[in-house]
Amino acid sequence: MDSFYQAYFSQWQTATERPAVIDGLLPLFCRHLGASSCRLFVKKHAEWTHFTHCTPFHSLPISPRDEELEGWLCQPMPFHRQSAEKAVLWLPLQHQGTPIGLLALSYPAGSPCTDPDYLQPCILHLSAELKNDIAAEQPAGSGPVLLDMLQGLHDISFALWRAESIDDMLFHAVEQGKKVLKIDRIAIFLLTGHNRMKGTYGTDTEGNTVKEAYFESPIPPHWFIDHPQAQHGYLAIEENTSLYHDLQEIGFGWSAYTSLWDGDKRVGWIAYDNLINGRPLADYHPQLLKQFSFIVSQHLVRRQTEEHLSQLNGELEKRVTERTRELQQLNRQLEHTSRHDPLTQVPNRRVFDQTLPLEWRRAQRHQLPVSLLIIDVDHFKSFNDTYGHAMGDRCLTLIAQTLVSVERRAGALFARYGGEEFVILLPGQNAQAAIVAAENTLKAVRSLLIPVNDQEYCNVTVSVGISCMVPDKQSTADQLFNQADSALYKAKSLGRDAFFIYDD
Ligand SMILES: Nc1nc2c(ncn2[C@@H]2O[C@H](COP(=O)(O)OP(=O)(O)OP(=O)(O)O)[C@@H](O)[C@H]2O)c(=O)[nH]1
């Protein structure tokens, strides 16, 4: 190490009082780096403090006004100011983005200024030390600082309230907590049951907020875990202790823990330390950490309850949807059952009884014809007697499934009326159309092969009675039916396998 840095660091080690350190430091820039004067401007709680050193044989640089200093304070890089007699190298002091002050080195005109890169380690070190001093200085100014912090807690609470999810909320808790409470590192852990814990968000060794959800472990046998947790907001602080990252020891300082509570149940904790800047805890910090922990607990519990509720709602909605689907399916089945004949699966008498009056009225309104065919299986008693009732059922099913497609005109209805009787209702169709339908019916049944055992088939026939009317004021749907019925009787008496059309 060269002579300047040797002298610089030995100054830090020998002197203990901060003003003495600075008094001893400033001459080093003149003695080792050729500066004619050196001044340090530090901004403490909105007020500027000046430290000066100058060698006896050079004049001081002209004092800048506070407004100028304010302007230069946020300069990101070192910069020069030149006059006829001297050059001044201004070095902004910043720590983690916070402006702290300025170091000004004056050189006689014509002498080279020190390379700012060379001074970089010293500037970083000086910035961190001064930042710690400013943070540690309280009593006189602690009122406003504490008030700022309380306002900060309110802002944190607001930020957590606006977070989009638990994850987002925990990220902001760590991020905002560090910024507002001026704590180097914060990490939030949640208990997962069975004596285990998991990470959420934490702070790496550079001070960045990082996701630590990967971290999952049994709860380590740590001193503060077993410490009696007598009351909510319990705070445990250990000074001069080892500091850890991912269970690895990485430094020395103070560490603190606050618990997160859901009612009487501890659900996690927040860990804090001063790994990066080594700043001491301020008097008001214990109270702030408890409040901070209380705020995080509240938001965590509220979010967890909300998420649990919304999950329950989701499940409930899913169940209601499933149940509604089942009911709709059941309704469709019921509707089908109530309208179809269970043996043949064609529309049943109920459908016919509902449709006939409707079509009758429509025909009446528009003065259109309406035709009805009653179809009766011939000698079906004897079929049953010969082949058995089960074969009789089979025969009726085959006839129904054949006849259901014989008449395909719009509005036509084929239904099982009862027993071995079927009907075809032809709204808007005259006698001619009804005759065609009857002929097709006879033909279709005649050519039907009815299996009566494993090898044999037989044929059956049907008789059809037809009635066709254009409804007038006196006539009724019953009349239409009765006429078709008597026509059927006539067809039977004519020898069966025939149709007869009612004619008065
Ligand atoms: N297998 C079976 N038979 C039925 C069903 N409904 C009615 N029958 C039978 O159908 C037969 C109808 O007989 P009848 O009314 O005497 O008439 P038919 O023997 O068909 O003689 P015609 O109508 O004069 O040609 C009866 O034996 C009823 O038991 C049914 O659902 N299944």
Residue type, 473: K
pLDDT confidence tier of residue 59, bands split at 50, 70 and 90:
very low
* Residue 378 Cα: closest atom of ligand 1: 25
| pLDDT tens for each residue of 80-133 | 888 888 888 999 998 777 788 999 998 888 888 899 988 988 888 888 778 777
Q: Which residues contact 227 (CB under 8 A, 6 or more apart)?
A: 236
Q: Which residues pair with 210 in a beta bridge?
A: 202
Could you tell me the distance, in angstroms and rounded to a whole number, from the CA of residue 112 to the centre of ligand 1?
127
Identify the weakest region by mean pLDDT among 17-31, 57-71, 357-371: 57-71
Nearest to 486 by CA among 501, 475, 473, 472: 501
Expressed in angstroms and rounded, the spacing between residue 380 Cα and the centre of ligand 1 is 5
Tokens at 263, concatenated: 């009612």
Q: What average pLDDT does this structure show over 425-444?
A: 97
Nearest residue to 491 via CA among 461, 460, 468: 461
pLDDT attached to residue 42: 86
Give the C-alpha separation, 466 to 480, whole Å.
9
In the DSSP assignment, the letter for residue 347 is B
Instruction: Classify 62 as helix, strand or coil.
Output: coil
Q: Which long-range contacts (CB under 8 A, 24 or more apart) does 170-173 make?
A: 170/200, 170/201, 170/296, 170/300, 171/201, 171/209, 171/211, 173/201, 173/270, 173/296, 173/299
Q: Whose CA is nearest to atom 26 of ligand 1?
A: 381
Q: Where are the domains of the chain?
A: 3-137, 141-308, 349-501
Q: How many CB atoms lie within 10 A of CB 435?
A: 17
Q: Is 146 helix (H, G, I), strand (E, B) or coil?
A: helix
Token pair of 441 as six digits: 């019916």
The residue whose CB lies within 8 Å of the most ligand 1 atoms, and thus the one to mutate among 384, 391, 394, is 384
Query: For position 230, what pLDDT does the model report?
Result: 47
Q: Tell me: pLDDT of 497 over 90.
A: yes
CB 66 within 8 A of CB 37: no
Distance from C-alpha of 273 to C-alpha of 205, rounded to nearest angstrom:
11
- Of ligand 1's listed atoms, the one at least distance from the Cα of 390 is 1
- What is the pLDDT confidence band of residue 62, given thresholds at 50, 70 and 90? low
Q: For position 427, what pLDDT does the model report?
A: 96
| Mean pLDDT, residues 376-397 | 96
376 lines ligand 1 (CB under 6 A): yes
**Whether the CB of 465 sits within 6 Å of ligand 1:** no
What residues contact 104, with CB distance under 8 A and at least 6 apart?
A: 38, 39, 40, 41, 61, 88, 89, 90, 91
Is the distance from the beta carbon of residue 407 to the nearest atom of ligand 1 less than 6 Å? Answer: no
CA distances from 235 to 285, 288, 390, 454, 463 (A): 11, 10, 87, 91, 99
What pLDDT was estimated at residue 136?
A: 63
Residue 434 clears pLDDT 90, i.e. is over it:
yes
Give the distance (Å) from ligand 1 centre to CA of residue 483: 21
Which residues are catalytically annotated? 420
d(CA 322, CA 331): 14
Residue 48: its pLDDT value, please? 78
Checking if the pLDDT of 138 tops 70, the result is: no
What is the DSSP-derived secondary structure letter of residue 41?
Answer: E
Instruction: Give the other-Cβ count within 10 Å of 206's Cβ.
Output: 8
3-137 adopts what CATH topology?
Beta-Lactamase (3.30.450)
Determine the Cα–Cα distance for residues 424 and 403; give it in Å rounded to an integer.
9
| Most confident stretch, 265-269, 409-413, 443-447, 471-475 | 443-447
Of residues 132 and 299, more confidence is placed in 299
**Contact between 490 and 464 (Cβ < 8 Å):** no
Distance (angstroms) between ligand 1 centre and the Cα of 377 equals 8
Mean of the pLDDT values across residues 387-408?
A: 94
DSSP state for residue 308 in the 8-state scheme = H
Q: Is 43 exposed, middle or buried (0-12, 13-18, 19+ CB in 10 A)?
A: buried
> According to the model, what pLDDT value does residue 396 have?
97
Q: Give the Cα separation of 442 and 95 in Å (integer).
A: 104
DSSP per position, 226-245? HS---STT-EEEEEEEEEEE
Q: What is the DSSP letter of 497?
A: S
Residues 250-278 have a mean pLDDT of: 89
Give dist(CA 400, CA 379) in Å, integer. Answer: 17
ipTM: 0.98
For residue 432, the SS3 value is helix
Structure tokens at 300: 């965590």
Q: Which of 381, 382, 489 to mutate to test the pocket of ligand 1 (most atoms within 8 A of CB)?
A: 381
Q: Which pLDDT value is given to residue 140? A: 45
Query: Which has more confidence, 292 or 110?
Result: 292
Domain 349-501: state its class: alpha beta
341 lines ligand 1 (CB under 6 A): no
Give the pLDDT mean for 433-454: 94
Output the pLDDT for position 195: 84
Of 477 and 80, which is predicted with more confidence?
477
Please count the other Cβ atoms lying within 10 Å of the Cβ belonging to residue 310: 10
Atom 6 in ligand 1: which residue has the minimum CA distance?
419
Per-residue confidence band for 137, with pLDDT thresholds at 50, 70 and 90: low
- Nearest-atom index, ligand 1, CA of 391: 1
* Residues of the chain above pLDDT 70, percent: 91
Greatest mean pLDDT range, 129-143, 287-301, 368-382: 368-382
Q: Whose CA is nearest to atom 30 of ligand 1?
A: 419
Q: Which of 91-95, 379-383, 499-503 has the lowest mean pLDDT?
A: 91-95
* Tokens matching residue 239: 């000074």
Query: What is the atom index within ligand 1 of the atom nearest the CA of 392?
Result: 1
Least confident range of 65-69, 81-85, 99-103, 307-311: 65-69
- Mean pLDDT (the chain) is 87
Average pLDDT for residues 365-370, to the nearest whole number?
96
Q: Mean pLDDT over residues 386-403, rounded?
A: 96
Q: How many helices (H) and strands (E) does the chain have?
A: 13, 20
Q: Within 13 Å of residue 152, how many CA atoms lie on the same side as its CB?
A: 22
> In residues, how long is the chain?
504
Q: Which atom of ligand 1 is nearest to the CA of 382?
A: 19
What b-and-e string marks burial along 156-170, b requiring 16 or more CB atoms within 10 Å of the CB? bbebbeebeebeebb
Is the CATH number 3.30.450.40 carried by domain 141-308?
Answer: yes
Distance set, CA 318 to CA 81, 325, 338 (Å): 72, 11, 30
**141-308: same fold as 3-137?**
yes
The lowest-confidence range among 45-59, 203-217, 294-308 is: 45-59
